[in-house]
Amino acid sequence: MYPNWILQRAYLTPLRKALAYKGQSWTFQELNNLSIKRARQLSALGIQQGDRIAIMGPSNPDLVVMLYACMHLQCEMVMLNRRLSQEEVAYQLEDAEAVTVFVADEDVLKLPPKTAHHLFSTIAKGTEDTLDIDKEWPLHQTTTIMYTSGTTGFPKGVRQTVGNHQASATASVFNIGLQPEDVWLCAVPLFHISGFSILVRSLLYGNQVYLYDQFDVETITQNIIDGEVTHMSVVAVTLERILHTLEQLAMKASPRFKLMLAGGGPVPVDYLTRAHALNLAVAQTYGMTETSSQTATLASEDAIRKIGSAGKPLFFNQIKIAEPNDDGEGEICIRGPHVTPGYIGRFAQKSATIDGWLHTGDIGYIDEEGYLFVIDRRADLIISGGENIYPAEIENVLLTHPAVQEAGVCGKHDSRWGQVPIAFVVLKEQVSIEQLQAFCSQKLAKYKVPKEIILTDTLPRNGANKLVRRKLLQ
Amino acid sequence: MYPNWILQRAYLTPLRKALAYKGQSWTFQELNNLSIKRARQLSALGIQQGDRIAIMGPSNPDLVVMLYACMHLQCEMVMLNRRLSQEEVAYQLEDAEAVTVFVADEDVLKLPPKTAHHLFSTIAKGTEDTLDIDKEWPLHQTTTIMYTSGTTGFPKGVRQTVGNHQASATASVFNIGLQPEDVWLCAVPLFHISGFSILVRSLLYGNQVYLYDQFDVETITQNIIDGEVTHMSVVAVTLERILHTLEQLAMKASPRFKLMLAGGGPVPVDYLTRAHALNLAVAQTYGMTETSSQTATLASEDAIRKIGSAGKPLFFNQIKIAEPNDDGEGEICIRGPHVTPGYIGRFAQKSATIDGWLHTGDIGYIDEEGYLFVIDRRADLIISGGENIYPAEIENVLLTHPAVQEAGVCGKHDSRWGQVPIAFVVLKEQVSIEQLQAFCSQKLAKYKVPKEIILTDTLPRNGANKLVRRKLLQ
């Protein structure tokens, strides 16, 4: 049994700052008191210990308090991506069999009609019961469930346990160090593992989080110049915007700023060179929802020498290449206490690991010094502004349109987002491109809607008649 | 399964310095290579994976390599205190049923006659076999066994597992922080948990250890003045000697020096005030062999405000007071992943915990802010220069002398060692004090031999005829 992180942190360092948002700040004691109150309000609504609930809201203190309240209740939290379409949300709620949804008032229209829900504002006005908060959590308890797609295009609900999150936070600190005065800037969504793991680290380390509900590049860059923050999680596109803003202002990062942790795909060399000139250390990281964030990280001092590498594993985990070819290339497999115990819903029976090894579907190799290189993403994964897009998911949507015979989706280079999805379609009936895009917009999050749809006579297929997506662009 | 710490650290940061000793230094890769070679030499001698062996030697790189070799072999290491008498060593070897003893050449005469052993020098000259080193260790694997006495005076062999040591190192870093360039000075014995835990932290954190085979106050103080080291584990008596040396030199600690971790009993207020004036931050810690080192630590910023307190628990553990009286005082109980799973040998059947709680035997209370105060040590424990001395163990020895009728031992204040043991004896035959002391010297480590033996007619006993040791001095 391990201590309830929120209670323990509030006990150990009650007066340390925990959270800053738009000029206001909260101590660990204050966040604990607010979240216990919220937990008792949820309990009065009939929410019980261990219930599986879903949560949707923008990244702000209300959401943090709601998350911590649910953690006090040891609920399994389905973290809804607020950029999803109603149809996508409906799929996840049905698959997860969530008891109810706690939704920020401004997000209620994002829920499918007739979804059972409680508004944040209503909950906050409710009466409290006298619930006792559990002081301990078991390691195997599911804290969060995050949906991620895969080869089939059907999103899978990935469980992340107390033990997964703890192992991830611990391995991270063994890698990049820790000081009590560290402050992590969070402008990545809390519903993704990149954002939620910042909250976990804050609770375990006793560090403050500077939270943003959106990527406000001017204010964030100013935080970095002033040294108000020491760490930040970025994707390539947000890193570039910060670099650009620093260059425009002819300013550099404060010496107090320590590290940019860059996830969601490789960072272009040009960005690394520019970052170096601006005093910004960048550590590239490779991870996924199934590994509760970082699995391998490239130290900033190796960024140029090992360009293109995802680095070495964090202390508690191992990486190997399954069935390597003569060049040592094969599927990247990951093992460690940060790896999910498995999925929920329709994939609950599918084991996430084989003999403890997560087979990522990504292709890569490990060089003679032990550095990992990722050379091809699983299932032709498209990474657009840090969001994962699985071609099969978009193809599945296109194929449900009565006019579409065949569909193939791939990523196309984009100077702003890194990649954007484009579709190749073989028609069986007449339909306009605009109609197809409108159809996709109804069913898919905006960032998944193909930026281009190209009509064609045939799609490239291999001998087994399987679509070869990497040949689509040719 | 968790990675073999030594292999993993050598893989992740092969070229970082791991160990410095008398002007020489070794990287993690070098220590790994040396210890794999040593493991293969041990294997060639017939030592098998999982064997329980005992180790004795001074704190130097030879011992470190031997410890790491045994860890590669996943041996259970009985850590012999080289200050013990032959009789005490014989008890531990017999109780532990150790297969053999690996002994430094200079310590061989400390072993009981006819003890099966291998000299460090002989092992180092032996042939190697081709043993494969296991890449993973299970959490429940016993890494170390350290003997500690208790109420009965019969030393108990305490198991410390991979999981115990990992949890301890992790909780410590969440408390005091970590930077890759941190260097921990180790002048406490490696056979004690205070010393061994420094090696564990070095492997997990990738930090360097400055190792000393004895407490060389001039050189150590110079390391602190020069800022060559950032952390050090001390007991009150060694802290005082460093303070005294700094004062004599009219020098202060380097700003690079971060923290003195002071264990083995409370630090006098006077020392804290002097340390403050010399730029030395002191964090007092409360822990024991059963908790794999620190369990609670008083932050240096609270040192004066909470004088006499042992602080708050480290993140992963909990402390409670069992059956408190009206003033809130009762037995201190500890729970967490750092608590031993139990004992070996004659105490193997005795559970170390009740419902997961270790009952320490120490008496204390927790104040309104959650700070622990230890007010009375278990079994009238005497702490002399950081070494634990259990009165019952000395009484048991005295009672085996044919001239002794009754014996009672207690601690007496000593300006240098904090406390020293003194004995009160009721005779049934004539014997001289010198003869009794010589008798004790044969059977007990030097620091346990009573500094005074006082002849008396009766010993203070309570209604149940039980010795009341705290009344001995009156």
List pLDDT tens digits, range A297-315: 998 778 778 888 899 999 9
Of the candidates B134, B104, B109, B131, the one whose C-alpha atom is nearest the C-alpha of residue B119 is B104
Min Cα–Cα distance to chain B from A136, Å: 10
The rounded distance, in Å, linking the Cα atoms of B171 and B291 is 12
Cβ–Cβ contact B311 with A under 8 A: no
- Residue B288 binned pLDDT confidence (cut-offs 50, 70, 90): very high
Q: Is B251 exposed, middle or buried (0-12, 13-18, 19+ CB in 10 A)?
A: middle
List pLDDT tens digits, range B197-231: 999 999 999 999 999 999 999 999 999 999 999 99
Of the candidates B149, B157, B146, B90, the one whose C-alpha atom is nearest the C-alpha of residue B392 is B149
Q: Looking at A68-77, A455-464, B105-114, which range is the least confident one?
A: A455-464
Asked if the model's pLDDT at residue B150 lies above 70, the reply is: no
List pLDDT tens digits, range B361-370: 888 999 999 9
Cβ pair A205:B2 closer than 8 A = no
Q: Considering only CB atoms, which chain A residues are within 8 Å of B335?
A: 1
ipTM of the predicted assembly exceeds 0.85: yes
Min Cα–Cα distance to chain A from B244, Å: 30
AA letter at A397: V
What ranges make up the beta strands (E) of B1-124? 2-3, 17-21, 24-27, 52-56, 76-79, 101-103, 117-119
Q: Could you tell me where the DSSP H helices lie in A206-337?
A: 217-226, 236-249, 269-277
CA A388 vs CA A154, A344, A445, B204, B408: distances in Å: 13, 20, 12, 33, 73
Cβ pair A174:B204 closer than 8 A = yes
Of the candidates A188, A168, A402, A130, the one whose C-alpha atom is nearest the C-alpha of residue A290 is A168
Min Cα–Cα distance to chain B from A317, Å: 7
* pLDDT for the residue numbered A387: 85
Cβ–Cβ contact A268 with B under 8 A: no
Tokens linked to B145: 């066994």
Asked if the model's pLDDT at residue B265 lies above 80, the reply is: no
% chain B with pLDDT above 90: 78
The rounded distance, in Å, linking the Cα atoms of B259 and A423 is 60
Q: Considering only CB atoms, which chain A residues are within 8 Å of B201?
A: none
Q: B219 and B251 in contact (C-beta within 8 Å)?
A: no
Q: Looking at A141-145, A363-367, B192-196, B390-394, which range is the least confident one?
A: B390-394
Query: A residues 102-141 near B, CB within 8 Å?
Result: 135-136
Using DSSP, state whether A388 is helix, strand or coil: strand
Asked if the model's pLDDT at residue A441 lies above 80, the reply is: yes
What is the pLDDT averaged over residues A141-166? 90
Cβ pair A370:B1 closer than 8 A = no
What residues contact residue A41 under an 8 Å CB cut-off, 6+ apart? A69, A123, A124, A126, A127, A128
Q: B236 and B271 in contact (C-beta within 8 Å)?
A: yes
Residue predicted with more confidence, B41 or B153: B41
Q: CB A405: neighbour CB atoms within 10 A?
A: 12
Q: Considering only CB atoms, which chain A residues are within 8 Å of B312?
A: 11-12
Cβ pair A3:B312 closer than 8 A = no
Q: Considering only CB atoms, which chain B residues are within 8 Å of A9?
A: 315
* pLDDT for the residue numbered B176: 93
The rounded distance, in Å, linking the Cα atoms of A32 and A11 is 9
Q: Could you tell me where the DSSP H helices lie in B312-445?
A: 391-399, 433-443
> Which residue ranges form the domains of chain A, and what is each CATH number?
2-137 (3.40.50.980), 171-376 (3.40.50.12780), 382-471 (3.30.300.30)
Using DSSP, state whether A98 is helix, strand or coil: coil
What is the pLDDT averaged over residues A207-224? 97
The rounded distance, in Å, linking the Cα atoms of B276 and A13 is 22
Q: CB B15: neighbour CB atoms within 10 A?
A: 10
Cβ pair A135:B318 closer than 8 A = yes
- Residue B115 binned pLDDT confidence (cut-offs 50, 70, 90): very high
List pLDDT tens digits, range A334-371: 999 999 999 999 999 988 899 999 999 888 999 999 99
Per-state percent for chain B, helix, strand, coil, to nearest 5: 35, 30, 35
* pLDDT for the residue numbered A427: 93
* pLDDT for the residue numbered A363: 87
* pLDDT for the residue numbered B237: 85
Beta bridge mates, B120: none
- Residue B263 binned pLDDT confidence (cut-offs 50, 70, 90): confident
Tokens linked to A377: 């993403």
CB nearest to B170's CB, from A12, A170, A179: A170
Q: A273 and A290 in contact (C-beta within 8 Å)?
A: no
Cα B272–Cα B273–Cα B278 angle in degrees, nearest 5:
95
List pLDDT tens digits, range A228-247: 999 999 988 899 999 999 99
Cβ–Cβ contact B446 with A under 8 A: no
* pLDDT for the residue numbered B447: 92
* pLDDT for the residue numbered B464: 64
